[in-house]
Amino acid sequence: MKEEVILIVDDEKEIRELIDIYLKGEGYNTLKAEDGEEALEILKKNEVDLIILDIMMPKLNGIEACLKIREEREMPIIMLSAKSQDIDKILGLNTGADDYLTKPFNPLELVARVKSQLRRYKRFNNSQKNDTNKENKIDSLEIEDLVINLETHEVFKDGIEIKLTPTEFDILVLLAKNRGKVFSIENIYNSVWKQEFMQSDNTVMVHIRKIREKIEDDSRNPKFIKTVWGVGYKIDK
């Protein structure tokens, strides 16, 4: 069985080494880079399953690196930042990151998030591989002009493919499979991330907004993902 490879990108050597120790203790292989430019060079030469990416770095920062990575690759990205303001977290998630941790962080929490993201990504890849062995079977959800193919993890609107990250896809499928049911932010987080929800965490809200921007004609007046004020979100088509 192939050991999963994690790329650690941080300009602080002590942080890189700390993360490296904990990940290797869990059996992961690691690669390390001290800035975004070095990370992109490593990605050209190596297969990587997940990236831990610091935001504040010289040469090419984490935001710029994430944008470049997302042009070609779909592996999970966990952002790290010394900044705790919501705007920094939102910016990181908006550029394509799947999760976000603020420094200083508990290394055990980072490891837990790594495992969660890798499980989701593995399900995503296995679904695509298994689809090649099935003939004429399309398992999909249709909501008006939106089609969600559960086998290939593809989403189409008016016949045009919409690119979602694995996390965005899982949230959309959760709501689409349970039409009419209202999911709180905590429900969504527990169902998709499989971790304990922190009340101050706005990760779900950012992902919902990103999904709306991609699938809605008007994200401020959504017809698919509805907000039930004070409760949560639902799809009731």
C-alpha distances in Å from residue 153, one per residue of 45, 170, 173, 197: 27, 9, 10, 26
* pLDDT for residue 132: 47
User: The sheet that has 154-157: what strands, in order across it?
Assistant: 140-143, 146-149, 154-157, 160-162
| Better pLDDT: 91 or 37 | 37
Contact 45, 87 (CB under 8 A): no
User: What is d(CA 102, CA 10) in angstroms, rounded to the nearest whole number?
Assistant: 13
| Residue pLDDT, tens place only, 77-102 | 999 987 766 666 777 787 888 888 88
pTM over 0.85: no
Closest CA to 172 of 129, 142, 128: 142
> Using a CB cutoff of 8 Å and minimum separation of 24, what contacts does 219-223 make?
223/144
Contact 189, 204 (CB under 8 A): yes
